[in-house]
Chains A and B, each alone.
Chain A
Amino acid sequence: MSSSIASSSSSSSSSSKKEKKISLKTSDGEVFEVEEPVAMQLEIVRSFFADNEDVTEQTVMPLPNVSTAAMHGILEYCRAHEEFRRRMPEAAPEEEVRAFEAGYVDRKSNEELKEMILAANYLNISKLLDFLTGVAAKRIENKSVEYVRAFFGVENDFTPEEEANLRREYEWAFEGVDED
């Protein structure tokens, strides 16, 4: 189901030639031509165009903190949600949205997820950010300390004594975690 939505959203975007497009340039120089309602989901873009009267349709907005890879992921999500909104303006089809979102994140590695979180934060897409941080939380639920370290890519910077104290103090928190 999720793939059909993704493809239908991209086909609909290419079919409507008259639709106003917004040009967004990623950190590695690629320019994305994005349908206006989709681009306006990016709060940073919306406020850029709302606040600057001298920008035109030809203006290419640089987004130096967003990679091309992250942009693909962002747009896939925003296009799908625009499609949902267009089909059902009153109330989003919750089950379809859930199915799409589940399929959407299943394909993302932890690294990609983190990159997307940073991009969604920078672009100020609160809905996507809430969703992605929720996914990140799910991925570290019930995991061992070692797993969480690997997930965040952090080093253990406690002294052995400090760590032993923490482990002792919060012993109850370590019951029944998955080790993988």
Chain B
Amino acid sequence: MDQQHLNGLNNDLLLDIMGQLDDSDMTSAGCTCSTLLHVAHDQSLWRQLCHSTWPSTALNEAQHLLSSSSFGGFHNIYYKNECVLSKVFNGIPEAVNVYHTDNTGGNCDYETNPNYHQYDEDNSHCDIDDNERYGLPKTLSDYGKLRDNHYKELAKHLRLSWVLLDKKKGKAVNLSRWKPLLIRRSWIYNGNYEIHFGCIVPVEENILPHKLAKCIIYSYQLHAR
């Protein structure tokens, strides 16, 4: 009966048409009748919309996670802004912001570039004002003395906001757990701090490796100021 009503346009054709609408048009079309409502709830349409709105939802790891039942599909993700994750090392097509709590004007922008696999001095910068105030060392030789204290200080004060931007609507959602999960010195990177942040999206690491956002804050950059 519905097929006749729709002049023979089958679900695939309706999907083709609906897939070229934006969110409000698609939703509005879904309010016309039960057939179109069914089509308007098709996950593939919302997956497309999610991908175009939040590019990081198209990443393989994100796909894997989002397809799990706890999110209730792309339709819910789109409406509830429950997105998504990526690795900082792989670059997030959005924005990552590392900063100290309680500071005034001491924000530390951690710029990401999806084309780089690791940060280095060329594509990231990190300037935290007033290092000593937060117990950050002046030189590498201070590490030994200050280490324990550092870790605590860093854990206490460093926050990561890992933001997905909805460019169309100018909305943003923060994905990170804010507080670092782990701080350690990375000898590979000349004794810089390696700080791991979690994501608001629950992750089982044995299933999905590399789901932590990893930032390396270069001590020489900290000293530069």
Contacts and interface: CB of A to CB of B under 8 A. Distances in A.
Contact of B7 (A130, A142, A148, A152): A152
Interface string B25-63: 101111111111100000000000000000000000000
A88 B30 CA distance: 42
A160 interface: no
Residue among A156, A158, A170 with the highest chain B CB neighbour number at 10 A: A170
A144 B29 CA distance: 8
Given A129-B16, A148-B32, A153 B21 contact: no
A158 to B, nearest CB: 7
Interface residues of A, number: 37
A53 interface: no
A69 interface: no
Contacts of B33: 149, 152, 154-158
B21 A140 contact: yes
A137 B20 contact: yes
Given A154-B35, A167-B31, A173 B9 contact: no
B17 interface: yes
Given A145-B32, A148-B32, A166-B31, A155 B25 contact: no
A149 B32 contact: yes
Interface of A is mostly: helix
A153 B36 CA distance: 12
A152 B9 contact: yes
A74 to B, nearest CB: 16
A145 B17 contact: no
Contacts of A149: 32-33
A152 B24 contact: no
Interface string A119-155: 0010000000110011011101111110011001111
Nearest to A130: B16
B114 to A, nearest CB: 29
B34 A157 contact: yes
Contacts of A154: 2, 5-6, 32-33, 35-36
Nearest to A139: B17
10 contacts: A115-B7, A118-B7, A118-B8, A130-B16, A133-B17, A140-B25, A145-B31, A154-B32, A167-B31, A174-B28
Interface of A: 111, 114-115, 117-118, 121, 129-130, 133-134, 136-138, 140-145, 148-149, 152-158, 163, 166-167, 170, 172-175, 177
Given A137-B19, A170-B28, A172-B24, 17 more contacts: A115-B7, A118-B8, A118-B9, A134-B20, A140-B29, A141-B21, A143-B25, A145-B32, A148-B29, A148-B32, A149-B33, A152-B6, A152-B36, A153-B5, A153-B6, A157-B34, A166-B31
